[in-house]
Amino acid sequence: MLRASAGARALRAASARLADVAAAQTRSASTNLWDRMRQIVGGEPAGGEATGLFGIDALRRPEDFEAEAQRAVAECEELIKSITSQALPNTETVQRLDKISDVVCKVVDAAELCRHVHSSSQWREASQQVFGTLMHFVFQLNANRELFDAVAPLVRDSKLRGLLDPESRRVAALLTEEFERQGGIHLPEADRAAVVERHARIGDLCTTFVQNTMRPPQTFRVRPRSALRPLPRQYEPLFPPQP
């Protein structure tokens, strides 16, 4: 029994030491992760030469965002030409459409993250501008009838669908759904233009909201006061009565 107790004490002591080691490793890993995140966000060197923002070499200055956006749009326009000039849709149609999505998202995703987390107002403003510009471009792509007509037959025509591997069929189906859901591609041209405008307006309002969250609290003059009734009461201090 004493031997068992000694063994239990030794086991508890060993467990405590292991717990201390694990805690120290967790603290070290957390510190290293935070340091690495700061390096990634700021493009700081990690034992080597400095990289661009989020590891994207082309993003070294705030104005580089605009250059990257222009490059992405130009590359996408070339891909669009190659898609719409094909005699018949095929596997390359899906690959090029997927490439368009990849090219845009690489810049949009970086801008989206930067506008929320970067400590520099210059970086946030530059990324905010590019985010809005590229999202407008995406809305236009989603309403592009020529692109839809290029991919839809690969989903609806059994012979053409049979030319695709399972992964390409899945991508084609998702792209077609995106055209229909986001772009209103089945609508007349005037209505599609209205859908694009509506999405753009929503995007602009989201941008304004994000920008306002980065500014100090402000007060506003609202007349008539009755216009404030739908607002929750906790927002009333933002609109003090004016003489």
Q: 145-156 vs 64-84: helix axis angle to the nearest 10?
A: 50
Please give the Cα distance from 52 to 160 (Å, whole number): 43
Around Cβ 183, how many Cβ atoms within 10 Å?
Answer: 23
Q: 195 near 143, Cβ under 8 Å?
A: yes
Q: Residue 49's pLDDT is what?
A: 60
Q: Residue 5's pLDDT is what?
A: 40
Q: Residue 10's pLDDT is what?
A: 47
Task: Identify the segments of the chain with pLDDT beneath 70.
Answer: 1-50, 219-220, 242-243
pTM, rounded to two decimals: 0.67
Q: List Cβ neighbours of 38 (8 Å cut-off, separation of 6 or more).
A: 44
Q: Residue 20's pLDDT is what?
A: 59
In the chain the beta strands, taken as DSSP E runs, fall at none
